[in-house]
Amino acid sequence: MKVLVVGSGAREHAICWRLAISKHVSHVTCAPGNAGIATCAEVVPVAATAVNELLALVQEKGIDLTVVGPEVALEAGIVDLFQAHGKAIAGPSKAAALLESSKAFAKEVMVAAGVPTASYEVFTAERELRDYCHKKGAPLVLKADGLASGKGVFVVTDATEFESAFQQLFGPLHAERVVVEEFLDGVEVSCIFACNGRDLIPLAPAHDYKRLRDNDEGPNTGGMGSVCPSPRISGAELEWIQERCAAPILTEMAKRGNPFSGFLYAGLMVPRDPSRRPEGIRVLEYNTRLGDPECQAILVRLTSEPTELFQWIAGVRNEKPTLSWRKEVSTCVVIASDGYPEGVAKGDEIVGIDLAGLVPDAIVFHASTSANEKGRLVSNGGRTLSVVGLGNDVESSRRVAYKAVDLIQLRGRRVRRDIGS
């Protein structure tokens, strides 16, 4: 089978890597890919949002199945277009992907489906938003209603921080609508469900680290590391989450004529106090794709056939696959370039990847990398690499990951040292 993977991050590198070692896959193409993906797939320079060109690519190359990584391709309508041309594709339609691309829509669906979530208000006028926030006071969470790569959310814990949040929201983010939520305390877990419109299969739960710096300090990022399976929830809690936080969304979306197929990623806040679990668990958000960096930690543990899963999602396979996982734990550590997540440096040479790849049980996935004119590997802005370690427990998996991370050099790199601790 020939497969196309759409995207260019470490998530897509992990998907390509996992597909490339499947005995059912004869050829992997990735668009637009990156320098690391080029080692396990044919990389074609077509942007993830150039959906017509991607369709032409699939038709030309006789590709049997397409797997979509990033939300921007979903929002550009890639799934609708491919399906209209009879091409198998694993991902949600544009209308179903609204669960991620509009926070206000997601909230409305959650309420209709009876999913436990933080209470909220939606504002379109800056004046009303300001009045509301100052009246309510901190803590509150302000979210731009649109895709912002994890950077449109402001957790305001002190009233003095409101002003800078307003300036960002109505300045660079050009927010037309802002969702204001009750602040929830706890630990975060990402539960991702493979869905085929009617039914769902839980992937191994993971958690990621959204803040830039150790001890969850600094600005929100796309994610600086992950652990799978997450020790933060039990098997019984995952079942509760499936029943209360994922299955009702499938029912609700189907009722609205927009059945959800693809990966439904529930970002959850889990109370620290075990006596408040599972009833105190709340959905923070949905994403309509695999998480990055959760995907890297999840896929290195997947031992069952990945094409069966993607085909089932795409609706070209009826039999529900049974997923199996390596017993080891995985820890993924992200290496971001200087300045991330604000102004990011590009073009800095990356040294030591080959050595890092020799660390037993370590795997290096590329995100924003490219080759410079001398053929040297350089950073291309933002999150640059994801380094995954496998071990018998979280501690040993993080030791493997950091051993490999420490063999890599990149000027001014940003790395959290507390992933998995």
**172 lies in the site for ligand AMP, by CB under 6 A:** no
284 within 8 A of 184, measured Cβ to Cβ: yes
Q: Whole-number minimum distance, CB 284 to ligand AMP, in Å?
A: 4
Question: What string marks each residue from 261 to 300 as x (binds ligand AMP by CB under 6 A) or -?
Answer: ------x----------------xx---------------
Q: Which of 184, 191, 204, 206 binds ligand AMP (CB under 6 A)?
A: 184
Could you say which of ligand GLY, ligand AMP, none residue 357 binds, taking C-beta under 5 to 8 angstroms by partner kind? none
* Token digits of residue 204: 């191994």
223 within 8 A of 343, measured Cβ to Cβ: no
**291 lies in the site for ligand GLY, by CB under 6 A:** yes
Q: Which is nearer to ligand GLY, 150 or 218 (CB)?
A: 150
Could you say which of ligand AMP, ligand GLY, none residue 208 binds, taking C-beta under 5 to 8 angstroms by partner kind? ligand GLY
Sign (positive or negative) of CA dihedral 234, 397, 28, 2: negative
**119 lies in the site for ligand AMP, by CB under 6 A:** no
345 within 8 A of 311, measured Cβ to Cβ: no
Could you say which of ligand AMP, ligand GLY, none residue 291 binds, taking C-beta under 5 to 8 angstroms by partner kind? ligand GLY
Count of residues interacting with ligand AMP (CB under 6 A)? 16
Which regions of 271-409 does DSSP assign to beta strands (E)? 282-287, 329-336, 362-366, 369-371, 377-379, 383-391
Question: What string marks each residue from 208 to 237 as x (binds ligand AMP by CB under 6 A) or -?
Answer: --x---------x-----------------
Q: Which of 287, 288, 330, 370 binds ligand GLY (CB under 6 A)?
A: 287
From residue 233, alpha-carbon distances to 101, 227, 272, 277 in Å are: 27, 12, 10, 9
Question: How many other CB atoms sit within 10 Å of the CB of residue 236?
Answer: 10
| Alpha-carbon torsion angle 48, 50, 55, 59, nearest 10 | -90
Question: How many other CB atoms sit within 10 Å of the CB of residue 243?
Answer: 11
Between CA 376 and CA 370 the distance in angstroms is 8
Q: Whole-number minimum distance, CB 30 to ligand AMP, in Å?
A: 26
The burial class, CB within 10 Å (0-12 / 13-18 / 19+), for 52 is exposed
Could you say which of ligand GLY, ligand AMP, none residue 181 binds, taking C-beta under 5 to 8 angstroms by partner kind? ligand AMP
Could you say which of ligand AMP, ligand GLY, none residue 287 binds, taking C-beta under 5 to 8 angstroms by partner kind? ligand GLY
Q: Which of 3, 141, 356, 377 binds ligand AMP (CB under 6 A)?
A: 141
Q: Which is nearer to ligand GLY, 25 or 68 (CB)?
A: 68
39: helix, strand or coil: helix
What ranges in 185-265 are assigned the alpha helix state H?
235-241, 247-255
Q: Which of 292, 379, 383, 387 binds ligand GLY (CB under 6 A)?
A: 292
Q: Whole-number minimum distance, CB 123 to ligand AMP, in Å?
A: 16
The enclosing H or E element of 29 equals strand 27-32
Q: Whole-number minimum distance, CB 190 to ligand AMP, in Å?
A: 9
* DSSP 8-state secondary structure symbol assigned to residue 94: H
Residues, the chain:
421
Of residues 201-220, those binding ligand GLY (CB under 6 A): 208
Closest by CA position to 365, among listed 353, 378, 352, 382: 353
Q: Catalog residues that contact ligand GLY under the rule CB under 6 A.
A: 150, 208, 222-223, 287, 291-292, 294
Q: Catalog residues that contact ligand AMP under the rule CB under 6 A.
A: 118, 141, 143, 150, 153, 155, 181-184, 188, 210, 220, 267, 284-285
